Amino acid sequence: MDKILDLELESLHHGLLSSEKFYKKPIVVFNSASHCEFTKQLTQFQKLHKEGNIVPIALPTNEFGEQEPGDNYEICQYANIVYKVSFTVCLKTNLDHKLFKRFGKPTWNFNKYVFDSDHNFVKRLDSEIEPRKVLEYV
User: Among the options 7, 27, 33, 36, which is catalytic?
Assistant: 36
Quote helix, strand, coil % in the chain, to nearest 5: 30, 20, 50
DSSP letter (8 states) at residue 133: G
CA distances from 121 to 47, 77, 97 (A): 22, 30, 16
Q: Tell me, what amino acid is at 112?
A: K
**Has 36 been annotated as catalytic?**
yes
Calculate the CA dihedral of residues 113, 33, 73, 119 and round it to 10 degrees: 0
Provide the β-strand partners of residue 115. 27, 121
Residue positions annotated with a catalytic role = 36
